[in-house]
Chain A
Amino acid sequence: SQQGEEDPQALSIQEGENATMNCSYKTSINNLQWYRQNSGRGLVHLILIRSNEREKHSGRLRVTLDTSKKSSSLLITASRAADTASYFCATGANSKLTFGKGITLSVRP
Protein backbone atom coordinates (compact mmCIF):
# COMPACT_ATOMS: atom_id res chain seq x y z
CA SER A 1 0.00 0.00 0.00
CA GLN A 2 1.32 3.42 -0.96
CA GLN A 3 1.30 5.56 2.15
CA GLY A 4 2.85 8.91 1.20
CA GLU A 5 1.86 10.96 -1.81
CA GLU A 6 4.16 13.73 -2.94
CA ASP A 7 3.10 16.96 -4.58
CA PRO A 8 3.87 18.29 -7.13
CA GLN A 9 4.98 15.38 -9.29
CA ALA A 10 7.54 17.57 -11.03
CA LEU A 11 9.13 20.90 -10.16
CA SER A 12 11.45 23.08 -12.21
CA ILE A 13 13.18 26.08 -10.67
CA GLN A 14 16.12 28.40 -11.27
CA GLU A 15 19.36 27.97 -9.37
CA GLY A 16 19.28 30.03 -6.19
CA GLU A 17 15.51 29.74 -5.73
CA ASN A 18 13.87 27.73 -2.96
CA ALA A 19 12.16 24.43 -3.70
CA THR A 20 9.16 23.29 -1.67
CA MET A 21 7.85 19.74 -1.91
CA ASN A 22 4.85 18.34 -0.09
CA CYS A 23 3.87 14.92 1.14
CA SER A 24 0.51 13.72 2.42
CA TYR A 25 -0.24 10.41 4.08
CA LYS A 26 -3.26 8.53 5.32
CA THR A 27 -2.61 6.69 8.59
CA SER A 28 -0.80 7.29 11.86
CA ILE A 29 2.97 7.22 11.62
CA ASN A 30 6.01 6.81 13.85
CA ASN A 31 8.12 9.12 11.70
CA LEU A 32 8.42 10.60 8.22
CA GLN A 33 11.62 10.61 6.19
CA TRP A 34 12.81 12.26 2.98
CA TYR A 35 15.20 10.65 0.51
CA ARG A 36 16.94 11.79 -2.66
CA GLN A 37 17.64 9.64 -5.70
CA ASN A 38 19.91 10.62 -8.53
CA SER A 39 18.98 9.03 -11.83
CA GLY A 40 18.91 5.23 -11.53
CA ARG A 41 21.00 5.16 -8.38
CA GLY A 42 20.33 4.18 -4.79
CA LEU A 43 18.31 6.41 -2.51
CA VAL A 44 20.11 8.62 -0.02
CA HIS A 45 18.56 9.43 3.34
CA LEU A 46 18.19 13.20 3.85
CA ILE A 47 16.27 13.83 7.03
CA LEU A 48 13.92 12.17 9.51
CA ILE A 49 11.23 13.85 11.59
CA ARG A 50 9.43 12.02 14.38
CA SER A 51 5.68 12.20 14.89
CA ASN A 52 6.11 14.34 18.02
CA GLU A 53 8.28 16.91 16.21
CA ARG A 54 6.98 19.81 14.12
CA GLU A 55 10.07 21.14 12.38
CA LYS A 56 13.62 20.05 11.73
CA HIS A 57 16.61 21.55 9.95
CA SER A 58 19.67 20.06 8.33
CA GLY A 59 21.93 22.38 6.35
CA ARG A 60 19.83 23.83 3.51
CA LEU A 61 16.96 21.45 4.28
CA ARG A 62 13.95 22.27 6.41
CA VAL A 63 11.21 19.75 6.97
CA THR A 64 7.89 20.31 8.73
CA LEU A 65 5.32 17.83 9.91
CA ASP A 66 1.66 18.48 10.66
CA THR A 67 0.16 15.30 12.07
CA SER A 68 -3.31 16.85 12.33
CA LYS A 69 -3.32 17.38 8.56
CA LYS A 70 -1.23 14.26 7.90
CA SER A 71 1.19 16.24 5.79
CA SER A 72 4.84 17.21 5.58
CA SER A 73 6.86 19.61 3.51
CA LEU A 74 10.51 19.66 2.50
CA LEU A 75 12.11 23.01 1.74
CA ILE A 76 15.46 23.21 -0.01
CA THR A 77 16.83 26.72 0.22
CA ALA A 78 19.20 28.36 -2.27
CA SER A 79 18.95 25.45 -4.68
CA ARG A 80 21.88 24.32 -6.79
CA ALA A 81 22.08 22.43 -10.07
CA ALA A 82 23.40 19.47 -8.07
CA ASP A 83 20.04 19.29 -6.24
CA THR A 84 18.47 18.01 -9.47
CA ALA A 85 17.11 14.59 -8.51
CA SER A 86 13.99 12.72 -7.48
CA TYR A 87 12.80 13.20 -3.92
CA PHE A 88 10.73 10.69 -1.98
CA CYS A 89 8.89 10.90 1.28
CA ALA A 90 8.63 7.72 3.31
CA THR A 91 6.45 7.00 6.31
CA GLY A 92 7.45 4.68 9.12
CA ALA A 93 4.57 2.69 10.57
CA ASN A 94 3.69 -0.92 11.39
CA SER A 95 7.36 -2.00 11.34
CA LYS A 96 7.70 -0.86 7.74
CA LEU A 97 8.92 2.12 5.77
CA THR A 98 6.59 2.94 2.88
CA PHE A 99 7.62 5.25 0.06
CA GLY A 100 5.65 7.62 -2.13
CA LYS A 101 6.06 7.81 -5.90
CA GLY A 102 8.47 10.71 -5.80
CA ILE A 103 8.92 14.27 -7.04
CA THR A 104 11.26 15.13 -9.90
CA LEU A 105 13.14 18.33 -9.16
CA SER A 106 15.03 20.10 -11.93
CA VAL A 107 17.26 23.04 -11.02
CA ARG A 108 18.25 25.13 -14.04
CA PRO A 109 21.71 26.74 -13.93
Chain B
Amino acid sequence: EAQVTQNPRYLITVTGKKLTVTCSQNMNHEYMSWYRQDPGLGLRQIYYSMNVEVTDKGDVPEGYKVSRKEKRNFPLILESPSPNQTSLYFCASSSDRYYGYTFGSGTRLTVV
Protein backbone atom coordinates (compact mmCIF):
# COMPACT_ATOMS: atom_id res chain seq x y z
CA GLU B 1 0.00 0.00 0.00
CA ALA B 2 1.34 3.43 -0.97
CA GLN B 3 1.81 5.43 2.19
CA VAL B 4 3.76 7.92 4.25
CA THR B 5 4.66 6.56 7.68
CA GLN B 6 5.42 8.84 10.60
CA ASN B 7 6.64 7.80 14.02
CA PRO B 8 5.82 8.23 16.77
CA ARG B 9 2.09 9.12 16.61
CA TYR B 10 2.17 10.74 20.03
CA LEU B 11 5.10 12.15 21.99
CA ILE B 12 5.36 14.03 25.26
CA THR B 13 8.80 15.38 26.05
CA VAL B 14 10.51 17.94 28.24
CA THR B 15 12.02 21.24 27.20
CA GLY B 16 15.52 20.89 25.79
CA LYS B 17 15.55 17.14 25.21
CA LYS B 18 16.50 16.44 21.61
CA LEU B 19 14.04 14.40 19.61
CA THR B 20 13.56 13.06 16.09
CA VAL B 21 10.29 12.40 14.29
CA THR B 22 10.78 9.92 11.49
CA CYS B 23 9.06 9.99 8.11
CA SER B 24 9.29 7.33 5.44
CA GLN B 25 7.51 6.95 2.09
CA ASN B 26 7.32 3.90 -0.18
CA MET B 27 6.29 5.63 -3.41
CA ASN B 28 9.74 6.65 -4.67
CA HIS B 29 8.65 10.29 -4.40
CA GLU B 30 11.29 12.94 -4.91
CA TYR B 31 9.52 15.71 -3.02
CA MET B 32 8.96 15.60 0.73
CA SER B 33 7.80 18.21 3.18
CA TRP B 34 7.08 18.83 6.85
CA TYR B 35 4.15 20.88 8.13
CA ARG B 36 2.90 21.84 11.54
CA GLN B 37 -0.78 22.41 12.24
CA ASP B 38 -1.97 24.71 15.00
CA PRO B 39 -5.53 25.84 15.85
CA GLY B 40 -6.43 29.02 14.02
CA LEU B 41 -3.19 29.00 12.00
CA GLY B 42 -3.80 26.15 9.59
CA LEU B 43 -0.85 24.22 8.16
CA ARG B 44 2.48 25.93 7.94
CA GLN B 45 5.46 24.52 6.10
CA ILE B 46 8.61 23.89 8.13
CA TYR B 47 11.06 22.42 5.61
CA TYR B 48 10.90 20.73 2.27
CA SER B 49 13.20 18.61 0.13
CA MET B 50 13.17 18.31 -3.64
CA ASN B 51 15.54 15.33 -3.72
CA VAL B 52 18.31 13.56 -1.84
CA GLU B 53 20.65 16.05 -0.16
CA VAL B 54 18.47 18.99 -1.34
CA THR B 55 16.51 20.71 1.44
CA ASP B 56 15.16 24.21 1.91
CA LYS B 57 13.38 26.26 4.53
CA GLY B 58 9.64 26.69 4.55
CA ASP B 59 7.74 29.41 6.38
CA VAL B 60 8.53 28.41 9.98
CA PRO B 61 11.95 26.66 10.06
CA GLU B 62 13.27 28.11 13.34
CA GLY B 63 14.06 25.44 15.91
CA TYR B 64 13.95 22.56 13.42
CA LYS B 65 16.45 20.62 11.33
CA VAL B 66 15.96 18.07 8.59
CA SER B 67 18.11 15.73 6.54
CA ARG B 68 17.55 13.79 3.33
CA LYS B 69 20.24 11.15 3.03
CA GLU B 70 17.99 8.64 1.30
CA LYS B 71 15.05 9.20 -1.01
CA ARG B 72 12.51 7.45 1.20
CA ASN B 73 13.34 9.08 4.56
CA PHE B 74 12.98 12.66 5.73
CA PRO B 75 13.37 12.95 9.52
CA LEU B 76 12.47 16.10 11.45
CA ILE B 77 14.88 16.95 14.26
CA LEU B 78 14.18 19.23 17.22
CA GLU B 79 17.57 19.87 18.80
CA SER B 80 16.21 21.71 21.84
CA PRO B 81 12.41 21.56 21.91
CA SER B 82 10.46 24.36 23.54
CA PRO B 83 6.78 24.54 24.59
CA ASN B 84 5.92 26.68 21.54
CA GLN B 85 6.77 23.67 19.38
CA THR B 86 3.83 21.78 20.86
CA SER B 87 1.81 21.02 17.75
CA LEU B 88 0.48 18.43 15.31
CA TYR B 89 3.14 17.59 12.74
CA PHE B 90 2.59 16.14 9.30
CA CYS B 91 5.01 14.72 6.78
CA ALA B 92 3.95 14.65 3.14
CA SER B 93 5.42 13.45 -0.13
CA SER B 94 4.77 13.93 -3.82
CA SER B 95 6.26 12.92 -7.14
CA ASP B 96 6.61 16.63 -7.93
CA ARG B 97 6.51 19.79 -5.84
CA TYR B 98 3.26 20.83 -7.55
CA TYR B 99 1.41 17.52 -7.59
CA GLY B 100 -1.02 16.23 -4.99
CA TYR B 101 0.61 15.32 -1.71
CA THR B 102 0.24 12.10 0.24
CA PHE B 103 0.18 12.84 3.95
CA GLY B 104 1.24 10.79 6.93
CA SER B 105 -1.14 10.26 9.85
CA GLY B 106 0.51 12.93 11.96
CA THR B 107 2.60 13.19 15.12
CA ARG B 108 1.10 14.98 18.09
CA LEU B 109 3.97 16.50 20.04
CA THR B 110 3.68 18.03 23.48
CA VAL B 111 6.68 19.82 24.99
CA VAL B 112 6.39 20.54 28.73
Contact = CB atoms under 8 A, between A and B. Distances in A.
Contact of A101 (B41, B59, B99, B106): B41
Interface string A31-44: 10101000011111
Contact of A45 (B45, B101, B105): B101
Interface residues of B, number: 28
B100 A41 contact: no
Nearest to B43: A99
B98 A92 contact: yes
Contacts of A35: 101
A60 interface: no
Interface residues of A, number: 23
Contacts of B74: none
A14 interface: no
A95 interface: yes
B101 A100 contact: no
Interface in A42-101: 42-45, 48, 88, 92, 95-101
Interface string B86-112: 001010100001111111111010000
Nearest to B42: A101
B105 A98 contact: no
Given A33-B101, A42-B105, A100-B42, 7 more contacts: A40-B106, A41-B105, A88-B43, A96-B48, A97-B45, A99-B35, A101-B42
Interface of A: 1-2, 30-31, 33, 35, 40-45, 48, 88, 92, 95-102
